[in-house]
Amino acid sequence: MLRYETAAGVGIILDDYLEQRTVWELFGRTGFAAPPLEYTDETYAAGYTETIAARVLPRDVTIPLVIRGKTQAERDGVLRRIAERVIQHGVRHDWGRLVFTRSDGKEAYLHCVYAGGLEAIADDEPFVYKAVVNFHASDPYFYALDETSVTLSNAGDAGLYFGAFWFGEGTYFRGGSVSAVGEVVNDGQMVYPEILITGPAKAIRIRGLDSGAAIAFPSSFELQRGEQIRIDCRDRRRGVWLTRSDGVVSDITPILTLESSLIFPIHNGANRFQLDYVDATDATRFLLRYRERGFSA
Q: What tens digit of pLDDT does each residue of 252-296 get?
A: 999 999 999 999 999 999 999 888 999 888 888 899 999 999 999
User: Do 54 and 40 form a contact (C-beta atoms < 8 A)?
Assistant: yes
Using alpha carbons only, how large is the chain's radius of gyration in Å? 25
Position 51 confidence tier, pLDDT thresholds 50, 70, 90 = very high
CA angle at residue 133 from 127 to 135, to 5 degrees?
Answer: 160
User: Do 130 and 124 form a contact (C-beta atoms < 8 A)?
Assistant: yes
In this predicted structure, what is the pLDDT of residue 167?
53
In this predicted structure, what is the pLDDT of residue 283?
85
Closest listed residue to residue 98, CA positions, set 268, 265, 88: 88
Residue 155 has pLDDT above 80, yes or no: no
> If residue 81 lies in a helix (H) or strand (E), which one and from where to where?
helix 72-86
Question: Average pLDDT for residues 37-54, to the nearest whole number?
Answer: 94
Which residues are bridge partners to 128 per DSSP? 68, 125
Position 154 confidence tier, pLDDT thresholds 50, 70, 90 = very low
Sorted by sequence, the CB contacts under 8 Å of residue 155 that are 6+ apart come out as: 161, 166
What is the spatial distance between Cα 120 and Cα 118, in angstroms, rounded to a whole number?
A: 5
Position 161 confidence tier, pLDDT thresholds 50, 70, 90 = very low
In this predicted structure, what is the pLDDT of residue 159?
44
Q: Residue 276 corresponds to which amino acid? A: D
Closest listed residue to residue 229, CA positions, set 263, 192, 191, 199: 199
**Phi and psi based region of residue 209 (left: phi greater than 0; alpha: psi -120 to 50; beta: remaining):** alpha
What is the spatial distance between Cα 244 and Cα 224, in angstroms, rounded to a whole number?
A: 8
What is the spatial distance between Cα 22 and Cα 13, in angstroms, rounded to a whole number?
A: 10
- pTM of the entire predicted model: 0.83
The larger pLDDT score, comparing residue 170 to residue 233, is at 233
Residues in the chain: 297
Closest listed residue to residue 109, CA positions, set 237, 5, 232, 265: 5
Question: Average pLDDT for residues 38-57, to the nearest whole number?
Answer: 94
Give the HSE-up count for residue 270: Cα atoms under 13 Å, Cβ half-sphere. Answer: 6
What is the spatial distance between Cα 222 and Cα 199, in angstroms, rounded to a whole number?
A: 8
Closest listed residue to residue 224, CA positions, set 248, 206, 244: 244
